[in-house]
Amino acid sequence: MLSLAENAGVVALVVGLSVALFVVMDRVWAWDKRHQHNDVTGWQLGILGTTYAVILGFMLYAVWTDFDTATQNVEMEANSLTNLYRLADGLPEASRVELQKLARDYAVKVIENDWPEMERGGRPVESVGLASKMERVLISVPEGSKSAGLAQDHAMTELSAMTTCRRTRLLENALSLPTVLWFVLIVGGVLTIVSSCMFGSQNRFLHGLQVVFFSLMVGLALLAIADINKPFRGSVHVGNDAFVRALENMR
């Protein structure tokens, strides 16, 4: 994903190309001749702009909802890990020590390995082995008191919830908007900006300023969708703060 500086460069490029298109069109097709067709281009721009605004707003809402869901899923995974660590206190000494050590190691691996790997677009695998080891520890807990059995059952439930959240996190890191939707967004933006340049106005400075504002808004919205679309990558992403807090609590 792009950095903040690269995002600013893309926005500047979009605005620059829009202004260049406006200048070229003003020289090729004079404003007074375009003004004669304002009754046609006006309603065309209104319908096209409204349709594109609805599509843009819906896409932005969709990716932001997915981003918020990814944030909540990470919090639930970290909470399940913390609960698993605390429930280990009810297990026999040997199982408690081993399970709590594995829980701390899991948090460290997620922080130091999973997040950098997801930032690169990869699929982290090291934490999977730790989750499997925790499951084997819980399965092999010797029979004891009733409280130990309850702690074992609740720990298995928390472990199951944690692994489910982990699989969801990896799936959210791999998914993205389909290419056809990006095609609609980009082509719709181009057509809308071109239509705004076709409008004829005697005050060319004010018209050019409107084109700048319009292209700036379109560019920013598209970059926001592209950045939020990958919740674990880019300048705006879901952080590992939940696991940092969990590790602090476990230590």
Tell me the per-residue pLDDT of 123-168, one tens digit each, with 9 for 90 and over.
888 788 888 899 999 888 887 667 778 888 899 999 999 999 999 9
| pTM, rounded to two decimals | 0.81
Alpha-carbon distance of 71 to 77, in angstroms, equals 10
User: In the predicted model, is pLDDT for residue 87 greater than 70?
Assistant: yes
Q: Which of 22-26, 110-114, 139-143, 164-168 has the least mean pLDDT?
A: 22-26
Q: What is the C-alpha separation between 242 and 231, in angstroms, rounded?
A: 15
pLDDT number for residue 11:
82
Tell me how far CA of residue 242 lies from CA of 81, 87, 245, in angstroms. 10, 19, 5
Lowest mean pLDDT among 16-25, 32-41, 176-185: 32-41
Q: Name, in order, each residue with C-beta under 8 angstroms of 113's C-beta and a sequence gap of 6 or more.
A: 124, 126, 127
User: How would you label 159-171 residue by residue, b for 16+ Cβ within 10 Å and e otherwise?
Assistant: bebbbebbebbbe
